[in-house]
Homo-oligomer: A and B are copies of this chain.
Amino acid sequence: MRVTQEQMRENRRRILAAASRLYRDKGYDAVGVAEVMKAAGLTHGGFYGHFASKEDLMAQAIAQAATEVAGRGGDLPAFVATYLSPAHRDDAADGCPMAALAADVRHRPAAARAAMTTGIRAQIDRLTEAVPDAADRRREAIGTYAALIGALILARAVDDPALSDEILDETRAWMASDA
């Protein structure tokens, strides 16, 4: 059953969006091609009409996710508060793709790492602009970004809710105190 060219582009978008969400939620290895296609409302067969391989899909999914999230970050304190919120911790599927996938991309082929690098660089640049300070803005941005991602990953790894909350709250307070 052939579909409109626009429908096909829409399908491709759906696949990417579904993959991006599923990868962030469950991890790259835990998500199969069939599951992604099903989540996109299609069957597994047509996958290779859109992507060369599963790894190709991941690279493009990262690239897209990095672009999507790119909009955030205007007001720095608000961004930090949102980033380190329990809501963000508990909803990885719609959350920061770097926090969810940066550690994993180390084991993926070059294309995925390149997409991740682009996203990280863009986020650092965006944070740099959001930092009020004039001197050492970029340094502040990089340190802040590292602390954000580290805290979110730790808060998600821990199985004790109290400790998890503490990591989020204390990291936020720590960043606010100095600077």
Q: Which residues of B contact A21 (CB under 8 A)?
A: none
For chain A, the count of residues having a C-beta within 8 Å of the partner chain is 53
Secondary structure at the A interface, as helix, strand, loop or mixed, is helix
Say yes or no for A87: interface residue by CB 8 A criterion.
no
Known: A103-B103, A107-B26, A159-B117. A149 touches B153 (CB 8 A): yes
Q: What separation, in Å, do the CA atoms of A177 and B166 have in the docked complex?
A: 24
A139 and B107 contact, CB distance less than 8 A: no
- For window 141-179 of A, CB contacts with B under 8 Å fall at 142-151, 153-154, 156-160, 163, 166-167, 170-171, 173-175, 177-179
Q: How far is the CA of A145 from the CA of B174 in the complex (A)?
A: 11
| Interface assignment of A6: CB less than 8 Å from any CB of chain B | no
Given contacts A107-B26, A139-B173, contact A146 B157 (CB under 8 A): no
Given contacts A117-B160, A136-B177, A154-B149, contact A27 B107 (CB under 8 A): yes
Kindly list chain B residues whose C-beta atoms are within 8 Å of the C-beta of A106: 27, 92, 156-157
Q: A120: CB under 8 A from chain B?
A: yes
Q: Interface-forming stretch among A33-41, A44-52, A108-116? A: A108-116
Query: Measuring CB to CB, which residues of chain A are less than 8 angstroms from any residue of chain B?
Result: 26-27, 29-30, 92, 98-100, 102-107, 110, 113-114, 116-117, 120-121, 136, 138-140, 142-151, 153-154, 156-160, 163, 166-167, 170-171, 173-175, 177-179
